Amino acid sequence: MLYSERLWVPVWWWAVGLFVAGLLAAEVHMGAPGLRAWLPYVLLLPLPVWGLVWLSRLRVEVVEEPDGVHLRVGQAHLPLDVISRVAEVPGSAKSAALGRQLDPAAFVQHRVWVKPMALIVLDDPEDPTPYWLISTRRPAELLAAVNRARPHTDGD
């Protein structure tokens, strides 16, 4: 493992999710006296936890595999030898990169709560995808790991 990052949702989302679930459970609790009063808490409080963990499942990794070093983003993987160049997309340019400048054939893994992104331009004649655009909290570290691990030719 040369680089690994999990894109967790912000902490305040957890607080809001648990607060809303608790509020709904308390509202149901007021109408259900007795032993059934605890049931809405048991049923409703795990829902935001499950939802936020599910939203946070995306991993961005640079890993060594038997057939070479790969960039993994979720279930997708990319051998580093097909990468032409890499660049950081700051949070201030994210709107343009995902809007008017976005190529419809690009591979995009975007998370709203992560501002910076990484642009990975491909040079693979067999792949119609021109580039990958992925969310990452630490784009400089990711791009450094990719540059360290990718094979360089004399023209690089």
| Angstrom distance (rounded) from CA 25 to CA 40 | 5
| Angstrom distance (rounded) from CA 120 to CA 97 | 13
What is the SS3 assignment for 82?
A: helix
For 137, which DSSP code?
Answer: S
Instruction: Lowest mean pLDDT of 2-11, 27-36, 91-100, name the range.
Output: 27-36
pLDDT of residue 150 exceeding 90, the answer is no
pLDDT, position 89: 92
- pLDDT tens readout for residues 86-118: 999 998 898 888 998 888 999 999 999 999 999
Percent helix / strand / coil, the chain, rounded to 5: 40, 25, 30
Task: Identify the band that residue 34 occupies on the pLDDT scale cut at 50, 70 and 90.
Answer: confident
- Supply the pTM of this predicted model: 0.80
| Angstrom distance (rounded) from CA 30 to CA 37 | 8
- pLDDT tens readout for residues 46-71: 999 999 999 999 999 999 888 888 99
For 8, which DSSP code?
Answer: P
pLDDT, position 155: 46
Higher per-residue pLDDT: 14 or 40: 14
pLDDT, position 2: 87
- pLDDT tens readout for residues 116-148: 999 999 988 888 999 999 999 999 999 999 988
When pLDDT is averaged across residues 69-76 and rounded to a whole number, the result is: 92
| Angstrom distance (rounded) from CA 8 to CA 57 | 7
